[in-house]
Structure formats: C-alpha cells, structure tokens
Amino acid sequence: MSNTPMAASPLTRAVLEIDEYASGLGWDQPARLFALVDTTRLRTQEPALAQQLGLGDEPETTGLTPIEQDEIPTDKALDEFLGTIAWPDAVAGCALTVERLMLPPSAEAQVPDNLGEAQLAKWVAGHPERQEVRMTVAVLRDGSRDSALRLREKDTPTEVLTGPDLVPGLAEALAATFED
C-alpha cells in the first residue's frame, strides 16, 4: 500500500503512510486519530488482527502499524478531546491528521487586534494568502516525534514536507496523552 521510503525511520514511515491514507480520502475530512503499535508485537500477540490489517502476507519487518481509532467528536475542541485520552501499554505511540488554514509569517502583522477565536478563524479564512494544509503528527512514548505537512495546492507525494518540529504544539498535545 505504501510508497514510503524504506530508509526512513519507522516513525517517519508511519507518518507518511498515514498522510498517504488521508490523501486517498481527499480534502475536507475530519481529524483522524491513530494508535501506533509495534508491528512485530502485533503479529505475535494479535495474529488475527494482524491478518485483518493485511500484515500476514508482508515480509517480516520491524516498524509501526497505524490503527485508526473511533471518530473524533466534533462537539469538543481538539485539545480538550486529546486531554481525555489514555493509551494502553500495547500502544507505542499515536498520530493525528488534521486539516487547517494557515497564513504565511508575513501576514502576522495584518491580524487585527482583539479578535475572538471565531472572528480570527473567519478572518484567516477570508485572507487572500491563506493556505489549506493537512498536518499529520506522530509521537512515541519515548518522546520521538515526526510530522508531515501537505498543502492542498501542492497535493502530490513529492511535495510533502516532513520533520520532527513542524507542528510542535500538536506534538506536545499528543505526547501528553502518554503522561500518567
């Protein structure tokens, strides 16, 4: 299924696999949450699930398998929802893909003062330099993190930007789901 580079770390491969999956669903999608589980452990401890996920026929490789979780509630702010999550020990990490509007740094000086959250969102949505972006961010229990950004106007696999520090606030929120 995946066209991710084999030389990449398992976390980067998982992020790119999730980005590819989300890309196949198209734009204007809700946020999606994924548990990241150790593929070898999954095959050993849950062979039926591994088979159901199509992992039974793949060569034995190490890595992370993303497993999509139930739909994220739309009646709650994303940060509030993330604050309610606790993962079982079998989950090595988690990832989230979400679409947002962003502005270039040059637009920061143009933001009107004293806008509420809804007013700011409306202002950004109407800005001529806005960009639609899909962010896929993943963290592991050990603190490792990676992310992928895809602009709607450059929606091709070769234009996906990756790196561990692209969306630090979201990475911190995801990492907090593993704190006791």
Instruction: Give 28-72 pLDDT, tens digit per residue.
Output: 999 999 999 988 887 777 777 777 777 666 655 668 989 999 888
Instruction: Give 97-141 pLDDT, tens digit per residue.
Output: 999 988 877 777 788 888 887 787 788 788 888 889 999 999 999
105 Rama class: left (phi>0) / alpha (psi -120 to 50) / beta: alpha
Q: What is the pTM of this model?
A: 0.83
The pLDDT value given to residue 49 = 75
Instruction: Give 131-168 pLDDT, tens digit per residue.
Output: 899 999 999 999 999 999 999 988 888 889 999 999 99
Average pLDDT, the chain: 86
List Cα–Cα distances, 140 to 53, 113, 126, in angstroms: 21, 38, 36
Task: Evaluate if residue 1 carries a pLDDT over 50.
Answer: no
Those residues whose C-beta lies under 8 Å from the C-beta of residue 65, and which sit 6 or more positions away, are 14, 36, 37, 38, 39, 42, 50, 53, 55
Evaluate whether 145 touches 139 at the Cβ level (below 8 Å). yes
The pLDDT value given to residue 128 = 83
Residue 20: pLDDT band (50, 70, 90) is very high
The DSSP call for residue 73 is P
Burial (0-12, 13-18, 19+ Cβ within 10 Å), 87:
middle
Percent of the chain at pLDDT exceeding 70: 91
Residue 15's nearest CA partner among 147, 152, 157, 158 is: 147
The pLDDT value given to residue 57 = 61
List Cα–Cα distances, 9 to 14, 102, 142, in angstroms: 9, 28, 14
